[in-house]
Structure 1
Amino acid sequence: MSEPTVSTHPYIGIWVTADGYIRHELLPGGRYDETRGKITSAYTGHYTITGDHIDYVDDTGFTADGDFREDVLYHAGMVLYREQN
């Protein structure tokens, strides 16, 4: 079975820390937008997902990664939860 495309991947959406301070919006098409506190678009860039692993490259060239486990995103020492609408 093939990997879902970025535009239809089940991890697309908003991921937020428990205190709401950091929000990652994984957008269709492989872009992300990170909000920190009141600073919108504090970091933006591209992401790729392979299985349950995500790799980020921000627009300045900085790289980071993370893993999804049981619908929780573990990224750079942070724990982010899927935002419920």
Structure 2
Amino acid sequence: MQKTLTTLMTVAMLAQPVGAAGTEAEANHPYVGMWVTEDGRVRHELLPNGRYVEARGSRERAYEGRYEVTGDHIEYWDDTGFTADGDFIDGVLYHGGMVLFRR
């Protein structure tokens, strides 16, 4: 019985979307955390579970969705269907004409 339960749990975890399991490796990824434009107007919070929340001005949850990082490149998929990407270069995130710094 225990072996069957363990197998079912493993299959369920493998069936989750990328980033949904929130593994320790994801939590320790160097890009997880808050990224902010110099004026503080745009804020990207990259969550350890592969999700992000973008705030703009006083709109704390202006955009939400998932993201994937490959090397130093990030791809975003907003929950509304919008897609975007960016690159991390020398500890700075360049995304959609914006420059975001680690907070």
The residue type paired with residue 33 of structure 1 is V
Which is higher, the Rg of structure 1 or of structure 2? 2
Q: Is the Cα contact below 8 Å between 1:65 and 1:76 reproduced in 2?
A: yes
2:61 pairs, out of 2, 27, 41, with 41
Which structure has the highest helix share of the two?
A: 2
TM-superposed deviation, 1:65 = 0.0
Which structure has the highest strand share of the two?
A: 1
1:57 aligns with 2:72: no
Where does residue 88 of structure 2 map in the other structure? Answer: 68
| Number of positions where the alignment pairs a residue of Structure 1 with one of Structure 2 | 80
Where does residue 8 of structure 1 map in the other structure? Answer: 28
Q: Give me the whole-angstrom Cα distance separating, in 1, the residues matched to 2:39 and 2:78.
A: 23
> More deviation in 64-73 or 6-15?
6-15
Structure 1 residue runs of 4 or more that deviate by more than 4 Å after TM superposition: none
Q: Unaligned stretches of 5+ in structure 2?
A: 1-23
Q: Give me the whole-angstrom Cα distance separating, in 1, the residues matched to 2:28 and 2:80.
A: 26
Of structures 1 and 2, the one scoring higher in RCO (CA 8 A, sep 6+) is 1
* Structure-2-length-normalised TM-score: 0.75
Where does residue 21 of structure 2 map in the other structure? Answer: none
